Amino acid sequence: MANDPLGYDFLGFGLGLRTAHFEHVLQHQPHVDWFEVLSENFMVAGGKPKYYLHAIAERYPVVMHGVSMSIGGTNSLDMAYLKALKQLANEVQPKWISDHLCWTSVHGQNSHDLLPLPYTQETIEHVAKRVSQVQDFLGRRILLENVSSYLSYQDSSMDEWEFLNALAEQADCLILLDINNIYVSARNHGFNALEYLNKINPKRVQQFHLAGHSDYGDYVIDTHDQDVVEPVWQLYQQALQRFGLVSTMIERDGNIPAFPALEHELQQASRLAAQQFPDLATRTLDPIPATPTQGLSA
């Protein structure tokens, strides 16, 4: 499933759908190509957030992004969670579903953090099996996102990009490549962010994340409460050269500004992409069918 420029799997430029902007989106119908929703916020029977989600999903393409699947955990997969996730997907028909390549819980307790994994062949085997079970249950491929990290494991036997490539290949899943997380982890661990980009298999990358972070000099925290910084924009330009046009969205979870400010920031992503792909201005977006797990090739 290569990301051919202007291909069927390119949604354009989107934003994370946040409660503060529900009314603005419905009233003004801003020029945003698509929205990413946090799955857990809507995995309920009803209520006002669900009303807004359905209303917005009627007007815009939507993708679902989760934080609680704990795909790398050692507990059994949470089938109640997966059933609720599948129910939500049946309701809103997202273009795709994603979560994080991490673990979040132990002994049934959620840490409410996205914890990194040891980069070993044993971990690949473990996670690939769980991804296959999730994809079979959902009836579609999922995307897994590289997380920002602040510690490493002595047992790791490969680089993060090698681990991510191998896992995606063995599990036959896709990648949500978070450009900001690459930058944050590169600063924290001292690796080359551009080398990371250049080693990732382009055929597996389905989506980009951009976000801001907090820089404390000796370390960087992925806080999603600041504007995207210039080094991340530069890395995004390199990613466009490496992967072509990939559906791109900006995450903002703290210090959330008025919607027009996020639109303005998103226009920067669109401008940078248009510099490399002049035909972008005249694109037409075709509907993206759900992708079953059987009979697919990357």
What the chain holds in terms of domains, given with CATH numbers, is 13-282 (3.20.20.150)
Predicted structure pTM score:
0.89
Q: What are the residue ranges in the chain where pLDDT is below 50?
A: 1-7, 284-298
108: left (phi over 0), alpha (psi -120 to 50) or beta: left
Gap between the Cα atoms of 33 and 184, Å rounded: 27
What is the tens place of the pLDDT at every residue in 213-251?
888 888 888 888 899 999 999 999 999 999 999 999 999
The pLDDT value given to residue 230:
97
40: left (phi over 0), alpha (psi -120 to 50) or beta: alpha
The pLDDT value given to residue 282:
63
Gap between the Cα atoms of 225 and 211, Å rounded: 8
The pLDDT value given to residue 4:
40
The pLDDT value given to residue 24:
97
The pLDDT value given to residue 166:
98
